[in-house]
A and B are shown apart, each in its own frame.
Chain A
């Protein structure tokens, strides 16, 4: 049923090869290479504060690449009629619509449809937006007729990052992360559990910043046979309007996210210099829970999995089985701790003990 769409995507992918690359960033464990028409590339360059979201990385040759090519309106006008196709969540056409056409989230490994198409395709029914990922060539095609919302700028290409991380054997985790001397602490917890407060305190005391909301976990061992890696993603912080300002004040530019009722701060200047451009070793995981202990206490892997996995699966639809398996690996690869609200004055000292 998707042959016409696949053929059209194949043709666009071939055409995109002849167009010049525009903007490159390191996002997580790979470089994201954006391309499109000169007009689109110019718009991407002006998509403030996109250049603050992640590492500009035009010359990184040590990391795998994923291409994201923007299709223009004239090209999209030739899109085959797809309104008759079954769809899953996010307008998923391949891989996720089940035999009954129900909008059931499935995992790629458990769905034979996934083997019939090289493309993972999400296409809005009204043809207003599309993301298609060709995993073998690591190229994605996209278009959107709507303006990016603040959170989509702050966590740019989040869906593609999720797909690419799964394809690379990694997983994006709904978590924050900080590091000290290359020793990384993953900080998990549901929304408003105190992740950002803890990260800000660490930032103010000179710790390395990896992420406030999305961390890439790499269970494959690349630099050391005994540890997994944590990769930074987005150099942003989400703060409630009543939160104290980011200090120093010149160290962030902000956008108001009306949905989350939070300010998204894009780190700049001195604070931005604390953003990790290289992975760190994952040495411990801290799970923040309401009414938890005032200082970190050990947590078992099973309790850790229960606290981390459903929340992460909820945040990153599709490939749920892979996410669950890899979060499970995460809970076994480094010691787990749990805590509630910790006293600010002793917070970083307690965290140093956790990663010691």
Chain B
């Protein structure tokens, strides 16, 4: 596949550097969180994941996004099948069925389903030529994305399933969803949420939400993660306790400290200054992603970039808010920083789509 030289010229180097910087900070934090434990050395796997992800980014960026979006329906069907087979065949790990074991690696299909969802959303809303959309216009894409979300939520992986919601809403909003319809949708969301609370949520999910509301009820139970993370963050102070010197992280009080709570380790060891630096980098990256949508030369590009940006933004905001104890704990990794091959790969492929749209903003 030949890549147009002009495209390489149009690569947004600042964005790439920011991504690599955040990923590098992530690796360093993973090292700190694991070096004194059995998991010492897993950062090497993270580096491999990042390398593979960068390669994937280039590949994804290289294929014209319009060709990808054109074939989104071809990707959608197998993705739903894979998500279904995860439920049917995946081994139960820690009470959930999220991963396939491929060659000794845990692969999490839901991470990649997000990308397919972005492509699907771009295709569907670009094809619809209406200027103004009502609720009825959302039925088809809503059902398609809803099916994916339902399959993912059943694993159960509520965090990833939830990520699809802002992606869908943002694209629908951009595509001209009437404000009345948007508020109606949000209202319906609240309703469905309360119904789900009664009928669909598993006990552990309810317990998490209860414990979020008052973690001191059961400090060693479900609220433990929230409390310990809050203590880690708060005790970091302005300057932090120093790299590899976070007592909460190093003495094992922080659970999932190299995965979902990696930001907590960063906040403890590097303090408010570290937090502001990394949040600034994320804001820069996400802003550039949305800017890409602004700059895209066609509706497909706008929708694709916006869907990806919305998904990444939701993950970043939710994860950071979770670490600060503002929202219930859900298994949602921090893009680029949390340990996990699927997450890193999926995040970089998503950024690949952004580069893809951005590089081609001037092309013929």
A and B from one complex:
no
